[in-house]
A and B are shown apart, each in its own frame.
Chain A
Amino acid sequence: MTPEPRSTSATTVPPWRDVRVLRIAAQVVVIVVFGVLVVFIARNFLGAMEERGLGFGFSFLGRSAGFDISESPIPYTPADTYSTAFIVGLLNTLFVSLVGIILATILGVIVGVARLSPNWLVRRIASGYVELIRNTPLLVQLFIIYFAVFLQLPSVAQTLTFPGSIFVNQRGLFLPGPQLNASFPIWLGLVAVGIGVLVAARIYARRREDAGRPQPGLRSIAWIVLAGIVVIGWVITAPVVFDLPVRQQFNFAGGLALSPEFSALLAGLVLYTAAFIGEVVRGGIQAVRRGQLEAARALGLSEGDTLRLVVFPQALRIIVPPLTSQYLNLAKNSSLAIAIGYPDLFKVGQTMANQTGQPVPVIMMVMATYLAISLFTSALMNLYNRRVQVLER
């Protein structure tokens, strides 16, 4: 066998071995398979809807919803349209997610720092909490909080009373509700003046330091002035009054009333997510290299300054991306509200789907909304992440 002279021209490669041809062919095949699948689904779906005498469309959104929603941040009656009902569900989801994210972050940072505490007992409790929460399903936790705690609370007649006008009974949680007074803008103005003084003092102190004549204590004095303005201004102008819940014959009126469903969902989401955030925070702090700490001590920074100026800025860079996914998880987990009857986006959506017999457009709207919330949150956190990362040299 004599070897054939090798051709250098690409045209002699047969098309079934030409990579360029194969690539295009493969993509065409994928598109065709995908298209066939879409057509198959669409035909079945339209056929099924026709059988039920229904079409496919969003026209039901303008019709009157006809079902009540137990709690709503905006005025809502069953006579309102389906689109209003949908917005009520969305606002409820956003509300519980936002409050949940704030509280879970606070509790999570506490748990994360506690896991690194020099005190053995604090460390063990924090890790016990994390293990317990992370190894049991959120839904079971929600069931425990709602069915086994909130619904077993005493009736209105035997309300539990806590100091500070906090009342707890079967109907929910009653707290003093903050309400803005007419004097609120005056107080806000005073605070602005105080912050102005603080900024001016810091700039002045920086100048003196640059000039080699530092004035220690100037910053502290400015802080004290600010605190004084805020506190004394608060006492004099009374910008916020607390509307206390008042016991009436069958229930409480006034104040801030939280339903058992909302309270249970919020408590469940916060306790669950805080365990995960705690691990994220711990990991971030531990990832700061020891040398950084030692260098900060060698420079004579105090314990607080070491944490504030050296450890946290570096830990934050590691913490922010996983923290984002925890926030997203919390927002998505709020859909478990359906199991305990809080009227969130998914619960309202399911009611709409049942009533209209149009599950497909409704679930499309619900999924698109969750997707939008997710994308918006991660975009926001990415923005913040970039700001934090800029600190890197």
Chain B
Amino acid sequence: MTAATLPPPRDAIGPIAWLRENLFSGWVNSLVTVLIAAALAWLAIGIGGWALTEARWSVVTNNLRLFLIGQYPGDQAWRLWVLLAVISVLSGISAGSLGRTTRVLAITLSACQLLIAALILASPLGLLPAGAFVLNAGLVWVAFFVGVRGLVPRRAMLVAWLLSLPASFLLLSGIGDSALPSVSTNLWGGLLLTILLATVGILLSFPLGVILALGRRSELPVVRILSTGYIELIRGVPLVTILFMADIILPLFLPGEWRLDRVARAMGGITLFSAAYVAENVRGGLQAIPTGQIEAAHALGLNGVQTNLYIVLPQALRAVIPANVGLFISLLKDTTLVTIIGLLELLGISRAVLAQSESFGAQMEVYVFIAVVFFILCYAMSQASYRLERQLGVGTR
């Protein structure tokens, strides 16, 4: 009888063996397990008891509208629905045609909308918006199957995404006539403003960062020194100082008649800050390109711009995408800092909520709610980046 035909020993497989190996592998380990399990149970009972009986979640549900869109006027809310529907359709189609990574985002988008719908049901906002969110979540999946069929060419999707940002700005702020009256950015707030700040920051800081990274590796000393100086200066100071610059000092640096909007200034500050970090990431990718690639491009007769555009950047950017997603997660978290300069994004609006007499003493409920919202968004992004990393095969090539 050979060893291969013997069944494994009883105590080496199964749940009991797993327990023994992972939790009770010695008396020290067993003691640690018991102590930690007791502490966890105590914590769970404490937190669970608070969350289920003591916590006044009505503070959150009663102010759900503020948390979602701030003080955006109610009679203009249809614009937000249009925007949300467009985003849902676009991400649904993208998820269908591009696959894995974008699929995580589409799933998150529809799940978040269902979650919001559930929250709305518990709030005094009524059935209509809840139904609209559910409808939107469904729209993501309808669009998804359209995308899977390949009915929409990828190039059209790219153009649509690029156009969607300026278009949504125009839609939100209005053009000032009777059909689309302008809405002051002072009224933008809540989750809407958080996501806008983050999206604009991500989309604008990326190209700026690539330019800075190329500048830092330029052969022209003037360009190199300016880029390096900018990157090191920005990376050496905290974001709040940059936001302070954008809020208080930028208006002093521009002619008096140029009135830049407060939200726009905050977006500019976040973009300029983030670009320096993107630049350092991209520089890492650029350094990983073997010189032979550049020499080969020159030998083929490509000029400097063509070499960068067709040979260097496509390889470098692919290598740094996961690192950049990490950066964008911190950018999303950093948008909370605009609270300090008085914008009413998700965290800033919480002050308005807590100032109401009926929310007195509900700090924990409000801040825990905000923390949960950020956790969902950031966790989804990090999962997407994890998949992207595998999809692109970074590190295995």
Contacts and interface: CB of A to CB of B under 8 A. Distances in A.
A132 B375 contact: yes
B245 interface: yes
A136 B333 contact: yes
B58 to A, nearest CB: 17
A194 to B, nearest CB: 31
B336 A139 contact: yes
B233 interface: yes
Given A139-B337, A336-B337, A346-B241, A44 B255 contact: yes
Nearest to A141: B371
Contact of B40 (A47, A125, A359): A125
B371 to A, nearest CB: 5
A125 to B, nearest CB: 7
B340 A339 contact: yes
14 contacts: A121-B23, A121-B40, A136-B333, A137-B347, A140-B371, A141-B371, A143-B363, A147-B367, A332-B237, A336-B337, A350-B244, A359-B249, A359-B252, A370-B241
Nearest to B223: A30
A131 interface: yes
Interface stretch (A221-229, A290-298, A302-310, A360-368): A360-368
Contact of B240 (A26, A134, A336, A375): A336
Contacts of B23: 119-121
Interface string A330-370: 00110110110000001000100100000110010011001
A136 B378 CA distance: 7
The 10 A-B pairs of least Cβ separation, nearest first, read A120-B22, A135-B378, A137-B333, A335-B238, A148-B364, A371-B236, A374-B236, A332-B238, A148-B363, A27-B222
Tell me if A's interface is mostly helix, strand, loop or mixed.
Answer: helix
Interface residues of A, number: 54
Contact of A144 (B29, B40, B367): B367
Contacts of A51: 256
Contacts of A350: 244
B3 interface: no
B249 A338 contact: no
A370 B237 contact: yes
B36 interface: yes
Given A147-B367, A152-B363, A118 B249 contact: no
Interface in B189-235: 219-223, 226, 233, 235
Contact of A121 (B33, B219, B254, B256): B33
Interface in B131-154: none
Interface of B: 22-23, 25, 29, 32-33, 36-37, 40, 219-223, 226, 233, 235-241, 244-245, 248-249, 251-256, 329, 333-334, 336-337, 339-340, 347, 350, 361, 363-364, 367-368, 370-371, 374-375, 378-379, 382
A374 B40 CA distance: 39
Nearest to B224: A27
Contacts, number: 148
A136 B25 CA distance: 35
Contact of A135 (B255, B364, B375): B375
B237 A359 contact: no
B233 A363 contact: no
A350 B241 CA distance: 10
A384 interface: no
B240 A338 contact: yes
Contact of B36 (A122, A147, A359): A122
Nearest to A145: B367
Nearest to B252: A48
A106 interface: no
Nearest to A135: B378
Nearest to A334: B238
A23 interface: yes
A125 B237 CA distance: 34
Contacts of A118: 22, 25, 29
Which of B37, B239, B340: most chain A Cβ within 10 A? B340
A152 B240 contact: no
A13 interface: no
A271 to B, nearest CB: 13
B212 to A, nearest CB: 13
A45 interface: yes
Given A125-B40, A148-B364, A360 B252 contact: yes
B329 to A, nearest CB: 8
A122 B363 contact: no
For A132, A333, A374, the residue with the greatest tally of chain B CB atoms inside 10 Å of its CB is A374
Interface in A190-218: none
Nearest to B365: A148
A130 to B, nearest CB: 11
Interface centre among B36, B255, B336 (most CB of A within 10 A): B336
Contact of A366 (B25, B235, B241, B254): B241
Contacts of A26: 220, 223
Interface string A297-337: 00000000000000000000000000000000000110110
A44 B238 contact: no
Nearest to A149: B364
A125 B236 contact: no
A371 B336 contact: no
Contacts of A160: none
Given A136-B333, A338-B240, A346-B238, A144 B33 contact: no
A343 B388 CA distance: 43
Nearest to A139: B336
Interface string A266-280: 000000000000000
Contact of B382 (A47, A135, A141, A363): A135
A268 to B, nearest CB: 12
A122 B32 contact: yes
